[in-house]
Amino acid sequence: MKTLRKTRERFYWDRLRADVEKWCRECHACGARKGPKTRTIGSLQCYNVCEPFERMALDIVGPFPVTTKGNRYVLVFMDYFTKWHEAIPIADQGASTVTEELVRT
């Protein structure tokens, strides 16, 4: 950071770096010149899959209202090769719950 380098050439105090970074973040003139920060969107990728269960997609959706069986989330997974998908209701997002359901399915 150019501002930090120039400040260090002439001054020193504890937490100099933190103070300069804070000042630069809060500087309205700098913010007006820089414009809004835009995030770059990653490009979609194609996966070459040769057989079923070679690559799987997994996600947890929720929370939803609690069902009569005490489930609040849905575990969704899909096979990239066959596009087969499954949705399994689960009570929580814990690792043990997810692994139990994956082994059971």
Do the domain assignments include residue 42?
Answer: no
Most confident of 7-16, 37-46, 85-94: 85-94
Residue 50 placed within a domain: no
Q: How many CA atoms lie within 13 A of 8 on its CB side?
A: 11
| Amino acid (one-letter) located at 53 | F
Tally of structural domains, the chain: 2
Measured CA distances, 21 to 16, 24, 99 (Å): 9, 5, 44
The residue range of the domain holding 68 is 56-104
User: Who contacts 67 (Cβ-Cβ below 8 Å, separation ≥6)?
Assistant: 89
Q: For residue 91, give the DSSP letter.
A: S
Could you identify the residue written with the tokens 């490009």? Answer: 43
pLDDT, greater one: 30 or 20: 20
Q: Does the pTM exceed 0.75?
A: no
Q: Is position 51 within any domain?
A: no
100 with 60, same domain: the answer is yes
Average pLDDT, the chain: 85
